[in-house]
């Protein structure tokens, strides 16, 4: 199972992110929400998408009965000041997602 926890940021607080697993859309996550999805064991690829922008892709492996936790969000701090640069030139890094070590 994967568990994704989304932070709240002012840039996208009213928008949902598409959750893409193995190049298939499996759901949406809103600001401040937690998204859970059961997985079979094996290797998987995960990323988030909003409009033409997305996060980097994360490759991971899940074992039987394992719960992997991820955190995600959008631009914050200094990066939010150069919003238009990110949506134009760094659109594959506009969102972020990272695995949380347990």
Domain around 89: 2-100
pLDDT category, 13, cuts 50, 70, 90? confident
In the chain, the number of structural domains is: 1
Query: Following CA atoms 7, 54, 17, 23 in sequence, which dihedral angle do they give, to the nearest 10 degrees?
Result: -130
Query: Average pLDDT over the chain, rounded to whole?
Result: 86
pLDDT category, 86, cuts 50, 70, 90? low
The CATH number for 15's domain is 2.60.40.1120
> For 37-74, what is each residue's pLDDT tens digit?
999 999 999 999 998 888 999 999 999 999 999 999 98
Q: What is the pLDDT of residue 80?
A: 55
Q: From CA 52, how far away is CA 102, in angstroms rounded?
A: 32
CA 102 to chain centre: 18
């Amino acid at each position: 199972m994967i568990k994704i926890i989304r932070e709240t940021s002012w840039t996208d607080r009213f928008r949902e992110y598409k959750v893409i697993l193995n190049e298939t859309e499996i759901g949406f996550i809103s600001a401040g929400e937690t998204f859970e999805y059961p997985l079979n064991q094996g290797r998987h690829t995960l990323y988030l998408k909003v409009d033409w922008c997305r996060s980097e892709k994360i490759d991971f492996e899940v074992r039987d009965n394992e719960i992997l936790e991820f955190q995600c969000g959008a631009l914050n701090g200094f990066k939010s000041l150069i919003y238009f640069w990110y949506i134009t030139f760094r659109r594959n890094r506009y969102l972020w997602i990272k695995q949380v070590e347990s």
